[in-house]
Amino acid sequence: MNEPRRKRGAERTSNRGPAAIPQLPLRRVTNPYPPMAMLSVDQVETIHQASMHILENFGIEVMSQRALALFEKAGAKVDHATANVRIDRGLVAEALKTTQSSYRLTPRNPANTIHLGGNTINFTLVAGPPNVHDMERGRRAGNLHDYADLTRLAQHFNCIHMLGNQVCAPVELPANTRHMDTYFTNLTLTDKSFHVSAIGRGRALDGIEMMAIARGLTLDEMRDDPGIATIISVNSPRRFDEMMAEGLMTMAEFGQSVAVTPFTLMGAMSPVTLAGALAQQNAEALFGVVLTQLVRPGAPVMYGAFTSNVDMKSGAPAFGTPENTKANIASGQLARRYNLPYRTTPGSASNAADAQGAYETLMALWGAVLGHGNLVYHAAGWQEGGLTASFEKLIIDVEMIQHMMEFLRPIVVDEAELAVEALGAVPTGGHFFGEPHTLERYATAFYQPMLSNWQNYEAWQEAGGLDTTARATRLWKKALEDYVEPVMDIAVREALEAYVARRKEAIGQGEP
């Protein structure tokens, strides 16, 4: 709240460098190609059957009386001694009758509306790291100052469509109220949608209330016109803890988006085999989906997937592996089997914003895109397996996301693009630099990267010989200079401040 306020809209031009960082304009990204079919239709069905077997015979533990009551009322077999819930495929099918195959999330600026479903792809900022890193200041615990800067970067770069939940944990703030400081930062420094913390009812409800204030809506109005989202992580295998169950139910009750996401690390929380991990993921995700519909039929819910593997030598989680990439594609097939929007994730275990960080992330990002992910969570800034939000990695990720966005623009084949006249006009062994066909198009013909350096070696050396990571440092600093805080009505801002103050007072030393 006491963060120095950067340039507002009115001061747009002050202190900005001579040339803005080139970036793609804000646009809705769609994937015009069919999703990759990594599993056959029969294989999808076999995995479905296995997951139904899990739900019907093994059950899921739900550490919430309210959830147990809902399941019991719906006809599930509830063992109150163990909090185990077995549901049959009929109940799953019933729930899937009321889920939505696509829906929108509208933040305070409707230009940043998120479309979840169909062929649309949205990319979010990394969420949840306890640490922050950049090449100048090194590694440090998450804090609100860095939180604000990383949030500004998400606002600055058009390809980041939405924020995750807490780009880093501001650990200097009280754990029971810091969620509101992060929501306030999200709402004032950006005009994009964001994910709330659904650790219990209070944190979710605060996010819903604050987005409603920012949009000038009542909770009832926002129930049918959602603006925020959350990720409900499953305590795999087969457990929803009380806080996450309460968070899920609160979001569903108020009509906000939930992505039910089992964290199925093969070899640790899941079988060591992809088929087994996918069956488990499918069972757990569908179980959460059912719960949203028991709370409120039609509640917006996504199929979340985060299946990767561990290093079997150490047990350490790995990301961006071939197995993770395959899971990202196969999980999309499962999500589509149920007509659910699909949340997926790229990632890397690299401790640095280096080549490994790039190739692991890009492997899994291709999986996310070929699998037709609708929400590509943790897409920018993820480092150290999610334990650190990296400023440089964020820039590298933005560059890779933009590469994918441009890749997804279809090839146009028509008379103008075929350039037959130019092909006849340029002599053999000649060049096209001066052709009218070239001159008319050259300024926008190709994607212009922000980070890639295409100088020859000598020119690059003369300019300092900076590698990609070092250039990324310059870029995030420049982006922070160029950042423009979106205008917010002062009355809205004051209402948000008042809400936070009132709630902090009410919460005191207790739980939200």
As a whole number of angstroms, the distance between CA 428 and CA 436 comes to 17
As a whole number of angstroms, the distance between CA 323 and CA 274 comes to 7
CB of 334 to a second copy, least distance (A): 12
Confirm or reject binding of residue 208 to a second copy (CB under 8 A): no
Stretch that binds a second copy, among 30-38, 69-77, 159-167, 192-200 (CB under 8 A): 30-38
Q: From the list 235, 473, 474, 495, which residue makes contact with a second copy (rule: CB under 8 A)?
A: 235
Q: Could you tell me which residues come within 8 angstroms of residue 312 by beta carbon, excluding any fewer than 6 positions away? A: 267, 272
Q: From the list 171, 217, 242, 460, which residue makes contact with a second copy (rule: CB under 8 A)?
A: 460
Torsion region of 508: left, alpha or beta (phi above 0 gives left; psi -120 to 50 gives alpha): left
Confirm or reject binding of residue 199 to a second copy (CB under 8 A): no
Q: From the list 26, 418, 487, 506, which residue makes contact with a second copy (rule: CB under 8 A)?
A: 418
Residue numbers 72-91 binding a second copy by CB under 8 A: 84
Confirm or reject binding of residue 436 to a second copy (CB under 8 A): no
Q: From the list 275, 480, 492, 495, which residue makes contact with a second copy (rule: CB under 8 A)?
A: 275
* Nearer of residues 293 and 331 to a second copy, judged by Cβ: 331
Number of residues that bind a second copy (CB under 8 A): 123
* Tokens standing for residue 4: 């120095």
Residue numbers 277-316 binding a second copy by CB under 8 A: 278-280, 309-312, 314-316
* Tokens standing for residue 345: 């994730």
Strand partners, 79: 84
- What type of residue sits at position 164? G
* Tokens standing for residue 485: 């805080």
Give residue 195's Cα distance to chain centre: 9
Stretch that binds a second copy, among 87-95, 173-181, 416-424, 484-492 (CB under 8 A): 416-424
* Nearer of residues 191 and 397 to a second copy, judged by Cβ: 397
Confirm or reject binding of residue 475 to a second copy (CB under 8 A): no
- Is there a cis peptide before residue 237, judged by omega within 30 degrees of 0? yes
CB of 415 to a second copy, least distance (A): 9
Stretch that binds a second copy, among 217-225, 231-239, 489-497, 502-510 (CB under 8 A): 231-239
Confirm or reject binding of residue 206 to a second copy (CB under 8 A): no
CB of 354 to a second copy, least distance (A): 4
Stretch that binds a second copy, among 199-207, 223-231, 272-280, 494-502 (CB under 8 A): 272-280
Q: Give the burial class of 26: count Cβ atoms within 10 A of its Cβ; 0-12 exposed, 13-18 middle, 19 or more buried.
A: exposed
DSSP SS3 for 344: strand
- Are 147 and 361 in contact, with CB atoms under 8 Å apart? no
Q: From the list 134, 146, 206, 384, which residue makes contact with a second copy (rule: CB under 8 A)?
A: 384
Q: Could you tell me which residues come within 8 angstroms of residue 245 by beta carbon, excluding any fewer than 6 positions away? A: 62, 63, 64, 66, 67, 291
To which residue do tokens 């088929």 refer? 275
Site track for a second copy across 117-146, x = CB under 8 A: --------------x-------x-------
H or E element, residue 47: helix 41-53
Confirm or reject binding of residue 416 to a second copy (CB under 8 A): yes
Residue numbers 35-54 binding a second copy by CB under 8 A: 36-39, 43, 46-47, 50, 53-54
* Nearer of residues 282 and 374 to a second copy, judged by Cβ: 282
- What type of residue sits at position 364? A
As a whole number of angstroms, the distance between CA 299 and CA 68 comes to 19
Q: From the list 10, 12, 20, 33, which residue makes contact with a second copy (rule: CB under 8 A)?
A: 33
As a whole number of angstroms, the distance between CA 109 and CA 190 comes to 9
Confirm or reject binding of residue 437 to a second copy (CB under 8 A): yes
As a whole number of angstroms, the distance between CA 195 and CA 207 comes to 8
Strand partners, 310: 317
Q: From the list 8, 10, 101, 442, which residue makes contact with a second copy (rule: CB under 8 A)?
A: 442
CA–CA distance from 224 to each of 98, 245, 251, 296, 402 (Å)?
A: 14, 22, 12, 12, 32
Confirm or reject binding of residue 26 to a second copy (CB under 8 A): no
Residue numbers 340-379 binding a second copy by CB under 8 A: 349-360, 362-363, 366
Q: From the list 193, 261, 270, 293, which residue makes contact with a second copy (rule: CB under 8 A)?
A: 270
* Nearer of residues 172 and 417 to a second copy, judged by Cβ: 417
CB of 357 to a second copy, least distance (A): 7
As a whole number of angstroms, the distance between CA 75 and CA 511 comes to 33
Q: From the list 414, 505, 509, 510, which residue makes contact with a second copy (rule: CB under 8 A)?
A: 414
DSSP SS3 for 148: helix
* Tokens standing for residue 241: 């803890």
- Are 426 and 169 in contact, with CB atoms under 8 Å apart? no
Residue numbers 309-338 binding a second copy by CB under 8 A: 309-312, 314-318, 321-323, 325-326, 330
